[in-house]
Chain A
Amino acid sequence: DGGITQSPKYLFRKEGQNVTLSCEQNLNHDAMYWYRQDPGQGLRLIYYSQIVNDFQKGDIAEGYSVSREKKESFPLTVTSAQKNPTAFYLCASSRVGIGTEAFFGQGTRLTVV
């Protein structure tokens, strides 16, 4: 089945540690996105990529980093510089084109302990 796979579903991190969230898609989409979700705030864009080896910052990129070495993969690293990393993280992908819909993974819940 085509889709987007995020792993792990739950992740615990100690303060001061970096952690990487995985996102893989087999939809042959060129564009991929990372969103952060906090209660009552909707989804906020962290980073996006429209093509391999290229990505741009979204609205809340500070404390995060990404890479796009393969079309299928767009991992997100939450660094120790992110002051409040506990959140639900959603990865999405879409075709590149005006108004194309985004398809979402099942999310990763990150908790800092």
Chain B
Amino acid sequence: AQSVTQPDIHITVSEGASLELRCNYSYGATPYLFWYVQSPGQGLQLLLKYFSGDTLVQGIKGFEAEFKRSQSSFNLRKPSVHWSDAAEYFCAVGAGNAGNMLTFGGGTRLMVKP
């Protein structure tokens, strides 16, 4: 069975600083990886996804993520954080079957200092 670990429960960065959120996954086959963002009391919005091909994936809102098979990682990055990026971020891995049951990490709550 697949699993996802997000080692950092909370992260605080200053506005304008760079950001990296860590994600490690465990899955026996080629993973399908996702990053979602959730504002308080809201649903989840897809930031980006990786299926195959280029290991550096661009997403919305200036985010990118890099798939590193050797490290079983899919870390999310942003070069300059804005106050509106404060939210909870979830990494997820999709099962490679006909459905798409996602297994989520525990989430990382991002706080942005002015």
Interface residues of A (CB under 8 A from B): 4, 6, 31, 33, 35, 40-45, 48, 50, 58, 88, 90, 92, 94-107, 109
Minimal Cβ-Cβ distance residue in A for B48: A101
Where the two chains meet, the residues of B that have a C-beta atom closer than 8 Å to any C-beta of A are 4, 6, 9, 32, 34, 36, 41-46, 49, 51, 90, 94, 96-107
Given contacts A45-B101, A105-B43, A106-B42, contact A99 B106 (CB under 8 A): no
| Residues A99 and B100 in contact in the complex (CB < 8 Å), given A40-B9, A42-B106 | yes
Q: Are A99 and B94 in contact (CB under 8 A)?
A: yes
CB-CB < 8 A to B42: which residues of A? Answer: 106-107
Q: Which residues of B contact A97 (CB under 8 A)?
A: 98, 100
User: What is the bound-complex CA distance between A96 and B42, given in angstroms?
Assistant: 24
- In the complex, residue of chain B having the shortest beta-carbon distance to the beta carbon of A105: B43
Chain A residues closer than 8 Å to B45, beta-carbon distance? 104
Q: List 30 A-B contacts (CB under 8 A).
A: A33-B102, A40-B106, A41-B106, A42-B6, A42-B104, A42-B106, A43-B44, A43-B90, A45-B101, A48-B101, A50-B99, A94-B99, A95-B100, A96-B99, A97-B98, A97-B100, A98-B32, A98-B96, A98-B97, A99-B32, A99-B49, A100-B94, A101-B100, A102-B100, A102-B102, A104-B44, A107-B41, A107-B42, A107-B43, A109-B41
